[in-house]
Structure 1
Amino acid sequence: MQPFIAISQRLAPAAHNEVRECLASEWGSFFARNLASYLPLPLAYHIPFSQYAPFVQGVILSGGNDLALFCDDYLSRTRDSYERDLLEHCVKKRIPVLGICRGAQMIAQYFSCEIAPLQGHIGSHKLHAQGQEFRVNSFHNYGVMSVSSELESIALASDGSIEGFRHERLPIFGVMWHIERSGGMEYQGLWQRFLQALKERE
Structure 2
Amino acid sequence: MRPLIAITCSFADEKIFLNRGYYEAVEKAGGIPVGVAPLRDKDVLSNLLDRVDGLLLSGGPDVDPRHFGENPRPGLGEVNPLRDEAEIFLCREAVKRRKPVLGICRGVQLINIALGGTVYQDIGSEMEKPLKHRQEAPRWYASHDVNVSKDSLLYRILESDLVPVNSFHHQAVKDVAEILKPVAFSQDGVVEAVEGASGEFFLLGVQWHPEEMWREYPLQLKLFEALVDAARMK
TM bin (shorter chain): 0.7 to 0.9
CA distance in 1, matches of 2:218, 2:113: 24
- Between stretches 47-56 and 182-191, larger displacement belongs to 182-191
Q: Partner residue of 1:175?
A: 206
Q: Partner residue of 1:52?
A: 48
Do residues 27 (structure 1) and 22 (structure 2) align? yes
- Between stretches 128-137 and 55-64, larger displacement belongs to 128-137
The answer to whether the 8 A contact 1:5-1:58 is kept is yes
Q: Partner residue of 1:16?
A: none
- What is the DSSP-based 3-state SS (H/G/I as helix, E as strand, rest coil) of the residue aligned with 2:210? coil
Q: Partner residue of 1:64?
A: 60
The alignment covers a number of residue pairs equal to: 193
What TM-score do you get using the length of structure 1 for normalisation? 0.84
Q: Partner residue of 2:194?
A: 165
Shift >3 Å, 4+ stretches: 70-73, 183-196
The answer to whether the 8 A contact 2:113-2:177 is kept is no
Q: CA deviation at 1:25?
A: 1.7
Q: Partner residue of 2:4?
A: 4
Q: CA deviation at 1:157?
A: 0.8
The answer to whether the 8 A contact 1:11-1:65 is kept is no
Structure 2's unaligned 5+ residue stretches are 66-71, 125-131, 136-142, 151-160
Q: CA deviation at 1:171?
A: 2.5
Pairwise CA RMSD of aligned residues? 2.4
CA distance in 2, matches of 1:135, 1:161: 15
Q: CA deviation at 1:151?
A: 0.8
What TM-score do you get using the length of structure 2 for normalisation? 0.73
Q: Partner residue of 1:125?
A: 144
**Structure with more strand by fraction:** 1
Q: CA deviation at 1:196?
A: 4.4
Identical positions, percent: 29
Q: Partner residue of 2:184?
A: 155
- Between stretches 82-91 and 56-65, larger displacement belongs to 82-91
| Per-residue CA distance 1:22-55 (angstroms, 9 max, x = gap) | 000222332232x22x211101223631121122
